[in-house]
Amino acid sequence: MRILALASLAAALAFGVWVLAALRRWTRSAPGRASLAVLSPGAVVPAQTAVVVLWWQIVLDGPWTFYGLYQLMGIGSLVLVNLIAALVFVLLPGSLVILDAAWLRLHRIPSQWTVGRVWAWFVLILIACVAVGEMFPNEVVRISMGVVLLFAAVSSVFLTAWWIVSHPVVAD
């Protein structure tokens, strides 16, 4: 049983690293750069934020998923559990970093998107989420406002990183 667990974990991690290496090569190739250059901020920022929200959901639901897989498949579920772990801890974060870094190198942030304006929008969304959560004291509404707030926070962090990459400090 231990050998199966270790072998499936090694195979899942090796697969994850191989996929990330292929993704990195693709982002540096001419077709990869052309594909990334076409993507607008209106598509990239929400997509990468949705991936982060999905990652958080997978992490929170992981124990229940692992329990359900074990109930259905028994010891054979170790292979799927290790593939899910590789997805959550290697593929999703690694692909976000690789794709975001490649996309940021190809695009400049628009001049009207300042850090102050980005975080002012986040504060307005925060106030709105708290107000809606207090006006409608329903569990579903509060969870929904939490997801919206997480989405806004991750987007603000990404836009701040984009501003920092696009506006380097000139050394004297």
Most confident of 22-26, 59-63, 137-141: 22-26
In this predicted structure, what is the pLDDT of residue 168?
65
Question: How many residues in total does the chain contain?
Answer: 172
pLDDT mean over 123-151 = 92
Q: What is the pLDDT of residues 59-112, one digit of tens each?
A: 888 888 888 888 988 887 888 888 888 888 888 889 988 998 899 888 888 888
Largest interatomic CA distance in the chain: 64
N-term to C-term CA, the chain: 61
Of 141, 33, 18, residue with least CA distance to 86:
18
Q: How far apart are CA 164 and CA 13, in angstroms?
A: 32
pLDDT at 169: 58
Contact 101, 36 (CB under 8 A): no
Dump strand ranges (E) for 6-121. Answer: none
Instruction: Give the ranges where 29-138 is alpha helix by DSSP (H).
Output: 30-38, 41-73, 77-86, 92-106, 115-135
Domain ranges of the chain: 1-107, 110-172
Given this model, what pLDDT does residue 121 score? 95
Band of pLDDT at residue 5, cut at 50, 70 and 90: confident
pLDDT score for 22: 95
For the stretch 28-46, pLDDT in tens is: 999 999 999 999 988 888 8
CA 37/CA 71 separation, integer angstroms: 46
